[in-house]
Every structure is written in structure tokens, then in C-alpha cells.
Copies of this chain bind each other. A is one copy, B any other.
Amino acid sequence: MQRHLAERYGRHPAVVGFQVDNEFGCHGTVRCYCPNCREAFRGWLRAKYGTIDALNAAWGTVFWSQTYRDFGEVELPHLTVAEANPSHLLDYYRFASDQVRAYNRFQVDLLRDNAPGRFITHNFMGFFTDLDPFALAEDLDFAAWDSYPLGFTDLMPLPQEEKVQWARTGHPDVAAFHHDLYRGVGRGRFWVMEQQPGPVNWAPHNPSPAPGMVRLWTWEAIAHGAEVVSYFRWRQAPFAQEQMHAGLNRPDFQPDVAFFEVQRVAEELSALPLPPAGCAPVALVYDSEAAWVFEIQPQGAEWNYLTLVFSFYSVLRRLGLDVDILKPGADLGGYGLVVVPSLPIVRKEALEALSQADGLVLVGPRSGSKTENFQIPPELPPGALQALLPLKVVRVESLPPGLLEEAEGPWGRFALGVWREWVETDLPPLLRFTDGGGILFRRGRYLYLAAWPSPELLFALCQSLAEEAGLHPRFLPEGLRLRRRGPLVFAFNYGPEVVEAPAPPGVRFLLGDRRIPPHDLAVWEET
């Protein structure tokens, strides 16, 4: 099939490029438990480990008498009576992600052979961790993603009152987070392949975007570096599964609300010269494997990798800072501040990159807590990171909702829950629980956070570090976000009230002005 498509349309003059497949992994399709996948997984293990003894050692199968005699004895890790071996699960999740990458590569190869000069991309999804987009995108020309701010907000683990607050705008960091993530995935280049143009059909609740939001989302994508913003869909189809998914045009062939907002952006865009987007001052290290490790072994029901990452990201953005999202091992040179919300498995290249970072480096809890084989490092967590942070995590605990521990330090008092670590070190803690346990440790430009941070603690900490790094953080109003593209500063007002643009006196506004209405934006030039 793919071959026929590639041969028939690859050189068609009207075709400038290809999106391979659609939203890889949607509807739980990364991890499959069929006999074919079992065979493929056994082959993958054989290639990785060589001998069954090596696998037994790596997985620690001596525990619970699960030693294998042959690769043919290894089953897929599901429908087990007790929980499956975590190393087994992690290898399976790696294998499943690899399989999707291989399937993409198979299609890409067909297109490279038959569609010379055409770009190839794929539309990734939001808040989705079953596959490693950084790896898959190595075979693409650039990344793309599908932006549905309202549905994502309805599905996020937010308190209901926040879901209501952002029901018609989306949470102000949701789209930006993914722009920055997929810009990293696309090695600096990304598209929004599907931008929500109105109410959709698939979330538990599907409100109408507030007037102006389709324009705002479009401009925001551009400010974050999107080369193209495309809308799903052109016209609302009156039949089949997605008939309740709005388009730029209505089912009766009339333009819908978003049509005019997009038209306006097109006009505005033609009048606004766009400088290239440079590097951000802050880097956030994001790791699909971390998501798998914590999915396999949360150890506390509330521990969730995306929640932790998003809280770091959101705090940085609320402080007015631009963020690049990078995979472990990416070059961290030039960043004033690097945050690593959590990196349980620290590979050699990740350690090197962190060692060579120029800026302050804040490392979150459970970093370095596992070897590549999903074992506790012999030197205890944070394992290899002890080269940078000479401390040992000797005990960890997860806390039930409502159990908060008091912390005290130079930035005030905080009540912390979810997760706590006990640390042995000669470093003096910068922040302590009232029972004396250390929470924050620092050596040189490296900091280790030994607890799940509350937003209040994250604000205080990131603000302090950003100031030290000379990044001039400022505490923005709740619904306001900034993004720079060269000398241009974009300000987006997600809130329901007029907000004053935090622009220096006398700057030139290229779009809007100092008084930003609700669900609107302003662009000015700073020198």
C-alpha cells in the first residue's frame, strides 16, 4: 500500500511533501501484545543481550525464581499474576517505541526513493509518552504536532475550577509547552499540523473557543517558531466519526468563525517581518524513558512525570522566560539555566552534557535513581550524577494526599507533599524540613532538589536561580505569557481582563498596543 502511494504520488507536481501516517500511537497502538510482537520482542532482546545469562543478570530474574533458560521463554509483560519485572517492562516499552520508529522509517525509505525533493514529517500528539519522539524524528525532515488546547486542558490533572477557568482558552502553557518540545524534537523546525479551529468532538467536554483564541493560538505558534500553522479541518464533515469536529468552514459550506480569525492572521503576518528564533535562555531536559520508568514504578499514586515536567515549565513561563526543551545528551552550552525535572536513568552522554553546561543546573528528585537496566545504582541515587552532586539518597517515601511536611529556608515556608528523599552528604542544605532533613543541595552551579516541589517553592527557586543567571525573571499576571523571536517580544493574554504589556517605555508596537485586551496579543520590538 505505502509503496503504491509513494510511487503514484511521490513526484506529483502538486505534492510538496508528506506527513507519514497519523498521530502514531493514538488509541493505545504503540504497545501490542500479539504473537507477532512476542516473536519480535524476543529477537530484539536477543540482539540487545546476546546471551540469556546477560538478560537474567540485567533484569535480576533470580528474584522470585524467574530465571530464563532461553529467549523463547520470555513472554510479553502483561496478564501476569503479580506485577511484571520492571526491567522486563522497560525493555518492552523501549522495544515498542523502537517498533513504531522502524515502521515510520520503512515508510520514509519508500518516500525517499520515490518522492525526491519532498519533505517528510509526522504529526505528533500532545501529552503522549508511549513513544520517544526525539528518536523517531531523526528520520524526518522536521516535526509537526496537533494542537488542541481545549481538549488537552479538559484531560489534564487540574482541579476542576482551573479547568473551568481555562475551558475556552486552554491552559496558557499547554500549546507553548508542545511548541517548545516539538521544536526540540524537530531540531529547531516544526509545524502545527492540526490547529483546533472551534469545538471538537473527542474530549469529555468540547466548549467553543473564546472569540480571538484561534488567532491567538496561531500567533503563539509562530512566536515559538512554527513554520506553518495548519487547521484541522478545512470543512466540518457532516458524516462519520468526526462530524462534530469544527472546521474553518461549516458543514453548509459557509465560513465558520475561525475562518475570519485565520484570515486576519494571514494579513497581519504579511505586514510583520519575522526574524529567526534563536536559542532560549533556559533549557529543560525532557526524557521519554523517564516517563516509562515512572509509569512502571510510580512508587506513589500521585507521582507523574508529565505533571512534574509541566509544573517546572509552567513556572518558568510565568516568570517570563523562554524555554528550549531538549533530550538528555543535547548540548547545554549557552543556557543560563538548565532544569532537569527528573532523569532517573542518566546515560553517559547525558552526564557529559550536564557536566559541560554553562549555566546553573537544577536537578529534580529521583534523578539518577536507576541504572539503564532498571536497578538501583550500587552507589545509590543519584548514581552517576554523584560526579556533579556529591550526595547519596538513602531513603525515599511517597506521601498520601493531605500529608504535607513543613519546609523552611531563605525564601520562606513551604508545605511539601507527594515525595520526599533522605540525603547523606557533606553539602549543607539550602532548604530544610522542620525536622532537619535537607531538601535542596548545591555544589557550584549544580543543585539537587530532594522532594516533589510545590508551585510556590518552584517559583521561589526558579526566580532566584534565574536572577543569579542574569535572566531578569518577572512575575507575570496569571493569564499573560511572553515569547521572544529575535528582538520581537510577543505577549499573549489568555485571561479575561485587559492586561498591560510589560514593555519598556517608548518601544514600538508592531501589533496591538500596551493595553492587551482579553484573548488578544501585542508584539513589540526590544533592542
A-to-B contact residues, CB < 8 Å: 26-29, 59-64, 66, 81-87, 154, 160-161, 163-164, 167, 198-199, 201, 204-208, 236-244, 246, 250-252, 254, 256-257, 297, 299-302, 373-380, 392, 394-403, 420, 422
Contact = CB atoms under 8 A, between A and B. Distances in A.
A107 B385 CA distance: 49
B81 A29 contact: yes
Contacts of A422: 208
Given A63-B239, A205-B400, A256-B394, 14 more contacts: A60-B237, A60-B243, A61-B240, A63-B240, A85-B241, A160-B401, A164-B401, A198-B395, A205-B301, A205-B403, A206-B300, A206-B398, A251-B380, A252-B378
Consensus secondary structure, chain A interface: loop
Which of A160, A251, A254 has the most C-beta atoms of chain B within 10 angstroms of its own C-beta?
A251
B399 A207 contact: yes
A212 to B, nearest CB: 13
A25 to B, nearest CB: 11
B204 A375 contact: no
A143 to B, nearest CB: 23
Nearest to A237: B63
Given A250-B394, A301-B205, A376-B238, A160 B400 contact: yes
B205 A167 contact: no
Contact of A252 (B60, B81, B84, B380): B380
A239 B403 contact: no
Which of A236, A241, A392 has the most C-beta atoms of chain B within 10 angstroms of its own C-beta?
A241
Given A164-B400, A299-B201, A395-B257, A376 B207 contact: no
Nearest to A243: B376
B64 A241 contact: yes
A87 B256 contact: no
A299 B375 CA distance: 45
A252 B383 CA distance: 12
Given A244-B297, A301-B205, A402 B160 contact: yes
Nearest to A396: B199
Contacts of A26: 82
B379 A252 contact: yes
10 contacts: A60-B238, A63-B242, A83-B241, A161-B402, A163-B400, A164-B400, A205-B398, A205-B399, A252-B392, A254-B394
Given A63-B241, A297-B244, A402-B160, A397 B154 contact: no
A397 B59 CA distance: 50
